[in-house]
Amino acid sequence: MHGYFLCTTNEGDLIKTEKRNLLIMWFANLFVGASMTMVLPFLSLYIDSFGGYTQEEVQRWAGLVFGVSFLVAFLVSPSGGGLGIDLEERRFVQGSGLLLSVFLMGYVQSVESLFILRIFMGLATGFIPASMALISAQSDKRTAGQTLGTLQTGTVSGGLLGPLMGGFIADTVGMELTFIITSTVLAFATLLVIVGVKEVLYQEKGESNRKYHWKEVLHHISTSPMLIVIMVVALLVQLVNFSVQPLLALYVDALTQTENLAFMAGMAFSVTGLGNLVATRKWGQIGDRIGHEKIMLLLLILSGIFFIPQAFVGELWHLIALRFLFGIAVGGLIPCTTAYIRQVCPLSMQGEVLGYNQSFRFLGNVIGPVSGGFIAGTLGIPAVFIITGALFFVAALCLKVVLSQNKKSVDMNVKPSGPEKTT
């Protein structure tokens, strides 16, 4: 071990603790991620069941109810990522708040009540950046990409399974019981985290452990062009994904005459997540070896290459194949951005920086559907793929410029000075 742990147990026990923490947080993130998206298949139907709403009002409320959780999560994520002595209390509050919100959704009698509960659900989603901060802090910088990539597959899996679980349970036992069953699972996950997770900090020798004021954290981010680009990339990934999500059913309908439209649209969306699962951990491993900045540059270019052609497909299987390849490329961006933060930020600052990074991701969740709907309404659905996909190349260019500037700065610092002139 090249660093040291702020813990008194021996190295073998520490390795076991790391693995146990990662396993528990993986399942916890899976359930939290699933709870955020499980309402997608029946949200409009659930709102319509309250009665008294036109179809346009139902659709408008569905968008507001689904999006408000991500908007609130964007606002609170910076505080959710912080590491400190109150970590156990934070996990308890966030986990219990999340399961209580989901539980009560099964008993609401109006869409306004549902909207308020989704706000509280957004408040509780600080659990995700807090878990990223915890696992990042216990990880060796040299293997952080692989570790965080593994954790990320839990969140991705939850996002994929959420709609499937929600739809299946709702069809089987009813929409109201879906919320109650899900909250029970979240209660188990929360208890597992509280009891099973033990905080350990992998701290490199010479690495400061002092606490940073939030103003210092913001100053550190704002004066680091690379960190700014990292957070823009995090936002971009979510923006692009969510820009086409509400439109895929319409796009699939235009490509095929299938009667199973909802299923095929779900497949077209979920296959991207499948690509994530296949490659996310591997990209993290490669980034650990050759540098996460280089991998991010490659993945941004590949993401654009696989995303823009989706505007020109003539067959459904072409779309599905491209979305799978896009998932493979885009799946490595999030763990690489997180691992880079682990490598360059002081240990006691990483939680807050990861929180801001997660906040940018949630902002992408909010901006994506709005921008995608506006572009589609103005220029058509294919234009969404072209315009948002082009943003990957813009981000790659920005990253290349920053990397070039950093390289020049390093070269200037190591360049030997010539002999001094004498008179």
Q: Please indicate whether residue 210 or residue 178 has the higher confidence score (pLDDT).
A: 178
Q: Which of 207, 222, 245 is the last residue of a domain?
A: 207
Q: Is residue 421 part of a domain?
A: no
Neighbouring C-beta atoms of residue 321, cutoff 10 Å: 15
Same domain assignment for residues 255 and 289: yes
Same domain assignment for residues 7 and 122: yes
Q: Is residue 420 part of a domain?
A: no
Listed in sequence order, the residues at least 6 apart from 75 whose beta carbon sits closer than 8 Å to its beta carbon are: 359
Listed in sequence order, the residues at least 6 apart from 321 whose beta carbon sits closer than 8 Å to its beta carbon are: none
Q: Which of 155, 184, 207 is the last residue of a domain?
A: 207
Same domain assignment for residues 241 and 172: no
Q: For residues 35 and 42, give the distance between their C-alpha atoms in angstroms, rounded to a whole number.
A: 13
**pLDDT band for position 84 (50/70/90)?**
very low
Question: Which of 27-31, 159-163, 416-420 has the lowest average pLDDT?
Answer: 416-420
Helix (H, G, I), strand (E, B) or coil at 373: helix
Task: Enter the tokens of residue 77.
Answer: 């994520």
Contact 272, 327 (CB under 8 A): yes
Q: Is residue 17 part of a domain?
A: yes
3-state helix, strand, coil in the chain (%, to 5): 80, 0, 15
Q: Is residue 19 part of a domain?
A: yes
Same domain assignment for residues 384 and 237: yes
Listed in sequence order, the residues at least 6 apart from 419 whose beta carbon sits closer than 8 Å to its beta carbon are: none
Same domain assignment for residues 243 and 364: yes
Q: Model pTM?
A: 0.74
Same domain assignment for residues 242 and 196: no
Same domain assignment for residues 93 and 185: yes
Contact 42, 92 (CB under 8 A): no
Q: Is residue 59 part of a domain?
A: yes
Q: Please indicate whether residue 59 or residue 170 has the higher confidence score (pLDDT).
A: 170
Same domain assignment for residues 137 and 122: yes
- Read off φ and ψ for residue 200, nearest 5 degrees: -135, 145
- Provide the CATH number for the domain around residue 159: 1.20.1250.20
Same domain assignment for residues 164 and 90: yes
Q: For residues 253 and 159, give the distance between their C-alpha atoms in angstroms, rounded to a whole number.
A: 23
- Read off φ and ψ for residue 202, nearest 5 degrees: -90, 105
Residue 206 has a pLDDT of 54
**What single string gives the DSSP state of each residue in 229-272?**
HHHHHHHHHHHHHHHHGGGHHHHHHHH---S-HHHHHHHHHHHH
Q: What's the CA dihedral at 346, 349, 352, 353 to 10 degrees?
A: -20
Q: Is residue 423 part of a domain?
A: no
Contact 9, 17 (CB under 8 A): yes
Q: Is residue 415 part of a domain?
A: no
Same domain assignment for residues 221 and 332: yes
Beta bridge partners of 203: 4
- pLDDT of 179-236, one tens digit each? 888 787 777 777 777 788 776 666 555 555 566 677 888 888 888 889 999 999 989 9
Residue 303 has a pLDDT of 95
Domain extent, residue 154, equals 1-207
Q: How many domains does the chain have?
A: 2
Q: Is residue 422 part of a domain?
A: no
Task: Enter the tokens of residue 272.
Answer: 């991207």
- pLDDT of 308-356, one tens digit each? 999 999 899 999 999 999 999 998 888 888 888 877 877 677 777 877 8
Q: For residues 177 and 236, give the distance between their C-alpha atoms in angstroms, rounded to a whole number.
A: 35
Same domain assignment for residues 166 and 227: no
Q: Which of 153, 178, 207 is the last residue of a domain?
A: 207
Same domain assignment for residues 135 and 259: no
| pLDDT above 60: residue 1 | no
